[in-house]
Amino acid sequence: MLSSTTDLPTWAQLTEFLESRFRSIEMIDPCKQFVKSSVSNKINQFSKPKSFHSAVQEVTKSSNNNCALCNGSHYIYHCQKFEQKPIKERIDFVQHKRLCFNCMCPNHIVNKCRQNTSCRKCGKKHHTMLHIEKDGSIHQESNTNEGEIHIQKSDKSNTETRIVAHFAQGLQSHNVLLATAIINAHSTTGEKYHIRALLDQGSQASFISESTVQLLNLKRIPVSGVVSGLGDGQTRIKYSVSLLLESRYNPNAKYRVNAYVLGVLTSLLPGDKLCAPKWVHLEQLQLADPGYATPGKIDILLGADVYSEILQNNMVKHPEGNLIAQLTAFGWVLSGRIPRDSLHRKSIINMHIQMRSDDVLRKFWEIEAEPDLIKKKLTVEEEEFINVKSEINFDPITSPLLMVRPCEDEDIVIWFDPGLSPREKNRYYVVINKILPKGSVLNFSFDSDVHIIRITSHDYTKYVKEFLSDREQVMYNFTSDSDGYGFIVKGAIPGISPYLTSLAINNQEFCNIPKVGYFEEIISETNDSGPYSQCGRRKIKYTELIVNGDATKPGDWPWHVAIYNITNSVIRYICGGTLISKYFILTAAHCVTVKGIALGPKSLHVVLGKHNLVGEEQASQEKQVHRVIVHGKFQFNISENDIALLKLRSDVVFSNYIQPACLWYSNIQPSNKVFGTVVGWGLDSTDSLTFELRQAKMPIVAKTKCMKSDLTYYGKILNGKKFCAGYHNGTSVCNGDSGSGFHVFVPDEDIEEDDSGAWYVRGIVSTMLSREGASSLCDSTQYAIFTDVEKYRLWIDSYLETERD
């Protein structure tokens, strides 16, 4: 409409005209589909508006633009009657007429609205006329971490699954307890693992962490979708899995669950260690999560569909009414507020992030600026690779890096910095110094899942990486000529470095006889635990007091450790252990767990340099435990992966009575029959703990011989990660010796003295047959089972490396 005046309009008149104009243009054909501009897409990525939902109903398209309130020939946001209404009445009217909360037009809901505008006051996806000020009396919809997941399965159908997920992520209020449970999860091989679940009746779907999927080796089902509302961003979902869950208390209670895979579900729950509430009735309940008050990671989140199946009738409320216990198929779960007198601290954090449209546009234009104005930020891997100065055609002979040739072809090498040896980072570099013409096809094969990054540029200032695959077999087709390529290889499972088993170029195999074991050999070469270092060496002259006897004196076994448990101010001896560094003690997992769940560090106490179990000794040192590290695949019922580390709060001071033992590795295996010595305060022939430290020398027994003695028991327990040792004459380990080391003496080869050498911890006392008629006592006439330390060197070194850092 043209105005009769020639005066320049005011700013208010201009903005009103522009808004009216573009809204009119956009509403010319509301049913016509169009593609949003790239600018709109990028703006929406930054704004991430929350959605108000209205119902959807099919209506007949109207050709005119009648106002829904007064039937006038204008839009409702131009209606004076509508503008005069209070905000509450406007919102009620829009909801009653089923109008879009953003453009206030019919026929669609707010998340289907094609208009790119939003509230001019807060930037959210609703019309400015429906904006409620913070101090208003109208109750606003909560802007919490709730959102929608739109999943479209990778098949021919275009079915869309919409799931509402309501679960917290990030910082939690420390005075609210969420319902958690420890449950058995079945792997694809039939093994059972303890995992921690968060029960969330506010979620329509279940979610599982990536690490748990790898632990259970679950088959992934490809899906495609985006999770929004988990935190403040969006997370893309690529896979879902199906798994079987089982109650720890009732093996017949099994549930098949479909869950979507996410990298991380939540932060540790609870956010801080809580004191148990003063509730007498709680002691009589069989809790689903006995460690509910100790912070721990969540492996799986079970949604409302599973929650309704496992929930049972019984419920008990705390006398103060702020905490409830509900009976489920997994046991009793606790939720609610912890009473005030059992809190360490109270904290309330309120965070609000609001991004204005001008900030979004500014960031958009920064992204679209000239590339030379933005300095590319490199990852740690890229910076390390650039600093080497020659990632492809380096000289293997003069290179300062550790290098091995995994194949018979000398042009194929693997190298890594000694500080980056395959431990917790399990990353290394594969270099192919061959001329590869355009069109060449390269095939890798590994013995386990890998992530591979290809180096695509020789210009270090424009370093580029290209992700290839996460599968065991990798194929790549070269699109340009090259005189060599480099690859960064990283194992998909922490602590496991994949071995190269095949490398073919244009179907020609260059690794016919792949080598294995070189990672362990290199680690042993760079490890301080060699025969000529300080580990495994006695500082006091050793003499056998009794020939073929079992008595010891102080200082004979300076690496042996006594581990105590503290319960209700009562301290009692539980197991032995082996000192392997200034901060770490090696022991058995069953010593520091209850039903597969790790004990809290504060409930454990360690004494080093101890000879007499009763009384104080001047040479001993008492230490507090900082962290209990149990192997992630420990299974108590079959003593599988029965190994654990205790990290101390303060470093150990070495002395004549306190020294570390060396860690065993394969290339020091003596050729003759191996004898080892086990020390401890275990039960003697009278079934009483021995007060003075004693020793027992015994041979390693062949697996076949061990199984012949009792096929039913040893056939179930023995595998490649354990070994059998002992005698049938009563010289063996017993209750109280668990966690102690099986120590083997390795003499120095270039020194003629017989007593010159080092002691290596070869195994850890794990389990043995129980006595007939006394299931809780050992049978000393049977062979004992030891955890093989050599099989866990990478796992152990991954934690020792953190001490060196």
CA atoms within 13 A on the CB side of 473: 3
Q: For 130-159, what is the HEC assignment? A: HCCCCCCCCCCCCCCCEEEEEEEECCCCCC
The residue segments making up the domain with residue 51 are 11-130
User: In the listed set 130, 159, 180, which residue is the last one of a domain according to the structure?
Assistant: 130
Evaluate if residue 396 carries a pLDDT over 60: no
pLDDT at residue number 535: 84
Q: How many domains does the chain have?
A: 4
Task: Mark 583-618 as b/e (b = at least 16 C-beta within 10 Å).
Answer: bbbbbbbbbbbeebbbbebeebbbbbbbbebeeeee
In a domain, 362, yes or no: no
Evaluate if residue 83 carries a pLDDT over 80: yes
94 and 41 in a common domain: yes
pLDDT tens digits along 130-151: 888 754 444 433 333 333 444 4
Stronger pLDDT, 345 or 334, i.e. the higher one: 334
Percentage above 70 pLDDT, the chain = 65
In this prediction the pTM is 0.39
pLDDT tens digits along 448-476: 777 777 765 544 334 445 555 555 667 77
607 and 726 in a common domain: yes
pLDDT at residue number 747: 80
Evaluate if residue 438 carries a pLDDT over 70: yes
Evaluate if residue 576 carries a pLDDT over 80: yes
Evaluate if residue 604 carries a pLDDT over 90: yes
* DSSP β-ladder status, 233-246 and 254-262: antiparallel
**Mean pLDDT of the 328-332 span:** 91
772 and 667 in a common domain: yes
pLDDT at residue number 114: 76
pLDDT at residue number 587: 96
In a domain, 235, yes or no: yes
Q: Copy the structure tokens of residue 766.
A: 């794990």
Strand-pair partners of 607: 562, 622
In a domain, 83, yes or no: yes
681 and 713 in a common domain: yes
pLDDT band at 606 (very low <50, low <70, confident <90, very high): very high
Window from 126-130, 337-341, 382-386, 795-799 with minimum mean pLDDT? 382-386
118 and 160 in a common domain: no
- CA-CA distance, 186 to 188, in Å (whole number)? 7
User: Which parts of 234-379 fold into alpha helices (H)?
Assistant: 304-310, 357-367
Stronger pLDDT, 639 or 450, i.e. the higher one: 639
Stronger pLDDT, 81 or 686, i.e. the higher one: 81
Q: Which residue has the tokens 């988990």?
A: 230
User: In the listed set 526, 541, 573, which residue is the last one of a domain according to the structure?
Assistant: 526
203 and 124 in a common domain: no
Stronger pLDDT, 344 or 571, i.e. the higher one: 571
Stronger pLDDT, 534 or 797, i.e. the higher one: 797
80 and 163 in a common domain: no
**Mean pLDDT of the 774-790 span:** 77
pLDDT at residue number 694: 85
327 and 256 in a common domain: yes
Mean pLDDT of the chain: 72
User: In the listed set 342, 365, 389, which residue is the last one of a domain according to the structure?
Assistant: 342
Evaluate if residue 680 carries a pLDDT over 50: yes
Evaluate if residue 320 carries a pLDDT over 90: no
498 and 576 in a common domain: no
CB atoms near residue 503 (< 10 Å)? 21
760 and 646 in a common domain: yes
Element (H, E) at 11: helix 11-26
510 and 424 in a common domain: yes
pLDDT tens digits along 29-50: 444 444 444 434 443 443 333 3
Window from 366-370, 562-566, 754-758 with minimum mean pLDDT? 366-370
- CA-CA distance, 708 to 784, in Å (whole number)? 14
pLDDT band at 579 (very low <50, low <70, confident <90, very high): very high
Residue 673: Cβ-neighbour burial (10 angstroms; 0-12, 13-18, 19+): exposed
Evaluate if residue 617 carries a pLDDT over 60: yes
Contacts of residue 68, Cβ cutoff 8 Å, sequence gap at least 6: 76, 93, 97, 99, 104, 106
**Mean pLDDT of the 566-592 span:** 90
pLDDT at residue number 359: 54
CATH number of the domain to which 624 belongs:
2.40.10.120
Q: Pick the closest to residue 560 from 572, 577, 575, 536 (CA basis).
A: 577
| CA angle centred on 795, ends 793 and 800, rounded to 5° | 85
